[in-house]
Amino acid sequence: MAVKVIDVKVGVFDENNRIADEVRTYNRSKGTLMINIMASPGAGKTTTLLRTIDALKDEYRISVMEADIEASVDAEKMQAAGVKSIQVHTGGECAMDASMVQQALQEFDTDGIDLLFMENVGNLVCTAEQDTGADYNVEILSVPEGDDKPLKYPLMFSICQCVLINKIDTRNWFAFDDDAVKERIHKLNPDADVLFLSGKTGEGFDQWIDWLRDRLQNH
Amino acid sequence: MAVKVIDVKVGVFDENNRIADEVRTYNRSKGTLMINIMASPGAGKTTTLLRTIDALKDEYRISVMEADIEASVDAEKMQAAGVKSIQVHTGGECAMDASMVQQALQEFDTDGIDLLFMENVGNLVCTAEQDTGADYNVEILSVPEGDDKPLKYPLMFSICQCVLINKIDTRNWFAFDDDAVKERIHKLNPDADVLFLSGKTGEGFDQWIDWLRDRLQNH
């Protein structure tokens, strides 16, 4: 019985990886770079995205895929900010997989889109487990959550090319050790870029925007 | 194929509910009240628990079951605070289920324990989906996460008897509407108690300690 379950899981993951590659091929054919944004609930994904869009929207055509269990508030915020967005309801699932992304792309015209952000479900566990077909994974960890999170959610920090340490404007009110968090992330993932910023004030945003520009230019 | 998967899931949930009832019967036979603490990563579960233990440890015998993907840092903190604790590694699973609790209780002697806290995996999705066998579910939502979380994670707020709004000492630095969050929670769950406190400063802790004392006396 246990062996059966494991077989099914392996099958599902193999199938997911195949679809994830299809998603990447499809996005490449359209000239679209896709970035998967992951974080805990309330780490500041939406605020950070809105500021990022504002910084790049005159240079690049941007769209946002919002994934939530059932709410649509974030997609509405993106629309209000003037970018095309689609809301995906995961139907109770705690993360997007490649097949959900593929389905969403079939309904969401990305012709001429340079940069597609996916704001994943707020979660540090399930979201890390499946390749969504994104070109890059970015994790946002906010200062109030604490610098110990890489110890507790190692898979998440292992699969990201970039970690944004957000809400640095609140650093005076929380015990958060910048060097310790960097060391913990790099122990899991030596190549990860770790950038410190505030989605609210804009402090530190230049390096993040440069990071995205580099990926857009080399896509 | 899809139908098969659904059948398996229903079977698993039925089985989980049966085991959850066994866990409650077992805890009742020992005179132990079990509280399942859930929250996002970094919402302050551990800090709140440590202060709670400090407030009640002279009156009640307390133990803590710590659930994490793989780390053991929280159980070590609990031991250091002088309470018996056990660390459960969920092996990648994003939440505790009743069977994991039952296994942990077999290895964790709760003779004479009045109050057993379970600190669940930091997650607002999966943890809400399964009955763990706890007598009460308590969710901790921290001010930095934002007052919109009940809109995004409705199941979590629907299954809790008590919601602690934590980190109220940081209320000046975040836009957080106390009335809005209460209204959103009560729309999902009219009977939920919503208590505002700070695990760090202790502000508002009396009502939470009273809430626990009431449950302990009526168990």
How do the pLDDT tens digits run along chain B, 219 residues long? 233 233 344 456 788 999 999 999 999 999 999 999 999 999 999 999 999 999 999 999 999 999 887 777 788 888 888 888 888 888 778 889 999 999 999 888 899 999 999 999 988 888 998 999 999 999 999 999 999 999 989 999 999 999 999 999 998 889 899 999 999 999 999 999 999 999 999 999 999 999 999 999 988
Instruction: Tell me the percentage of chain A whose pLDDT exceeds 90.
Output: 68
- Å from A107 to nearest chain B CA? 22
pLDDT at B11: 58
* Closest in A92, A151, A170 to B73, CB measured: A151
Q: What is the pTM of this model?
A: 0.83
Grouping H, G, I as helix, E, B as strand and the rest as coil, residue B79 is helix
Report CA Rg, chain B.
Answer: 17
A37 touches chain B (CB under 8 A): no
Overall average pLDDT of the A137-141 stretch? 98
- Å from A216 to nearest chain B CA? 31
Chain segment A162-201, per-residue pLDDT in tens: 999 999 999 888 989 999 999 999 999 999 999 999 999 9
Is A2-217 assigned to CATH 3.40.50.620? no
Given an 8 Å threshold on Cβ–Cβ distance, is B152 in contact with A40?
Answer: no
Given an 8 Å threshold on Cβ–Cβ distance, is B94 in contact with A121?
Answer: no
Cβ neighbours of residue A137 under 8 Å, at least 6 residues apart? Answer: A35, A36, A38, A159, A160, A161, A162
Q: Is A177 left (phi over 0), alpha (psi -120 to 50) or beta?
A: beta
Strands B193-196 and B84-89: unpaired
Beta bridge partners of B63: B84, B116
- pLDDT of A80 over the 80 cut: yes
Given an 8 Å threshold on Cβ–Cβ distance, is B125 in contact with A69?
Answer: yes
- Interface-testing mutation among B9, B47, B50, B94, with chain A (most A C-beta atoms within 10 A): B94
Mean confidence (pLDDT) of chain A:
90
Phi (first) and psi of residue B56, to 5 degrees: -115, -5
Given an 8 Å threshold on Cβ–Cβ distance, is B124 in contact with A125?
Answer: no
- Quote ipTM for the complex: 0.75
- pLDDT of A9 over the 50 cut: no
Cα–Cα separations (whole angstroms), residue B217 to A153, A207, B31, B173: 37, 56, 11, 38
- Scan for tokens 């996460």, then name that residue: B145
A83 touches chain B (CB under 8 A): no
